[in-house]
Each structure stands twice: as structure tokens, then as C-alpha cells.
A = this chain, B = another copy of it.
Amino acid sequence: MAEQPAIVLVRPQLGENIGKAARAMLNFGLTDLRLVAPRDGWPNPAAGPAAAGADVVLERARVYETTADAVAECALVFATTVRKRGDTKPVVGPDEAAEQIHGLAGKSAILFGPERSGLDAADVSLARTILTVPINPEFGSLNLAQAVILCAYEWSRAKDLVQPPKTDALPPAPQEELDGLIAHLDRLLSQKNYFLPEERAEASRRTLRNVLTSANWNHLEVRTMRGIFSTLENPPRGERRR
């Protein structure tokens, strides 16, 4: 599982909005809040009431002098901007950003600009990727906490959807290997009269195949099982050489 992204508020103006952002974050399990040069200093008495109980986020918040300091250790930085400005950077929505964050081994950060002006060009230049919420073009009026909650929501949503990385997983064994395994076990069981009486045999064999097929073993696992069956049908190992 990837680390959760840092939410970086760059030069936020109102303590109330910092509190609301913290609340939005915690609603979806985010707790890493970073503040770059908050206008009214930090802590800010207006933040607590607006956080509506998300005090843990405020208490852990870290303050930085520059945006670069705030994201120094991050491998992937997103800059939220409402408008595109002929960007040369890739532009993603909150959904794709969330997927990228979950796919990352390292730390990520999402930058949010001051309430009135948004991120400046220097802040944006720190980011690898632009994050834009696709909004009504005739009424773009997303406030800071709303932008944060949409990003947090998508992160939380993608977390549930995320699968364990598949790099280690081997594909299932080829069918012929599985068939060999089944035949092997069938032989052993036949010797023990497992498939008698005759009229039950077909159903029992189907059950056997279903069970082994559902195991979805890869070729290494099938090989291991073959070894086990061989062991079972042969005399005890120590006695073979006698």
C-alpha cells in the first residue's frame, strides 16, 4: 500500500479554511497536513472550531517556509489549479491522481493554493502533474475545502479498489500441468477405492477437478503438489535405499 499523500496548503489565508480542510481530510482518512507560510501564523484559533473534531490533523500539521521545503521528500507532487494555462505538464483529475498515488512506492503531495489567487507559477513548477477538478465551465466556484474533499474522497475510493501489486504473482500453471496433477491424484485415490461405488465415480471426479482447478496454482505450486503426491505413493524416503 502506498503512503497517503500530504495535503499541502500553500499560503492559506483563513484559519477557518484550514480547519475545514482538516475535516475534509479526516473524513476520508488523510492526516498529513502541511502548511506553507500561513498568512495569520500557526496555530490559528479559528481553525479548531471549523475542524469539527478533526483536531488530530491540526495538531500534527507541520509548517514550512517554502513550498519546496514542504514537498522535499515527495516523489510525486500534484498542483491543483482550476484553469489550464497551456501547460506543458500532464493534467489529471482527482480520480487519476488517486490512482497514481496508490501506484507509487514513495510519498506524494497535493498542493492547494491560497483562497483568492490559487497557486502561483513558482509553486506549480514544483509539480510533476497538474490536478484539475473537471468543473462546470460556466460556474467554477470550488472553495479550498471542497477541492480538498474531492481529492481525499478519490484517494479513499481508489484505496478500496486497489489491488495488491501483481509483480510477484506468477500466472496459473498451463492446463496440461494441472491435468497431470489431477491424473496423478486420481491414480492414488483409485488405488484406495475412493471412486467406488461406480455410479458415484463421475461426480466424485468432477468434484476433485473443481477443487484442484479452483486452487489456481502456478507451475511452481503444481510441481510442489506433484512432489507431495509422489511422496505419498512411495515408501517412506528413508526406506527406499534399503
Cβ contacts A36-62/B at 8 Å (1 or 0 each): 000000000000000011100000000
Interface-forming stretch among A20-28, A66-74, A178-186, A233-241? Answer: A20-28
Measured between alpha carbons, how far is A115 from B149 in the docked complex, in Å? 18
Q: How near does chain B come to A92, taking the closest CB pair, in angstroms? A: 13
Interchain CB contact under 8 A, A157 and B139: no
- Among A183-237, those with CB < 8 Å from B are none
B27, B133, B141: the one contacting A52 at CB < 8 Å is B141
Cβ contacts A148-161/B at 8 Å (1 or 0 each): 01100100110010
Interchain CB contact under 8 A, A140 and B27: yes
- Among A68-122, those with CB < 8 Å from B are 93, 95
Measured between alpha carbons, how far is A52 from B54 in the docked complex, in Å? 26
Interface residue? A170 (CB, 8 A): no
Interface residue? A134 (CB, 8 A): yes
Measured between alpha carbons, how far is A54 from B136 in the docked complex, in Å? 12
Interchain CB contact under 8 A, A146 and B26: no
B27, B29, B95, B157: the one contacting A146 at CB < 8 Å is B27
B28, B93, B135, B153: the one contacting A27 at CB < 8 Å is B135
Measured between alpha carbons, how far is A160 from B142 in the docked complex, in Å? 19
Q: How near does chain B come to A29, taking the closest CB pair, in angstroms? A: 5
Nearest B residue to A146, CB-CB: B149
Nearest B residue to A53, CB-CB: B141
Interchain CB contact under 8 A, A141 and B95: no
Interchain CB contact under 8 A, B141 and A26: yes
Interchain CB contact under 8 A, B24 and A139: no
Measured between alpha carbons, how far is A28 from B93 in the docked complex, in Å? 14
Q: How near does chain B come to A57, taking the closest CB pair, in angstroms? A: 9
Q: Give chain B residues whose Cβ lies under 8 Å from the Cβ of A150.
A: 149-150, 153
Binding site for B on A (CB under 8 A): 23-24, 26-29, 52-54, 93, 95, 133-136, 139-143, 145-146, 149-150, 153, 156-157, 160
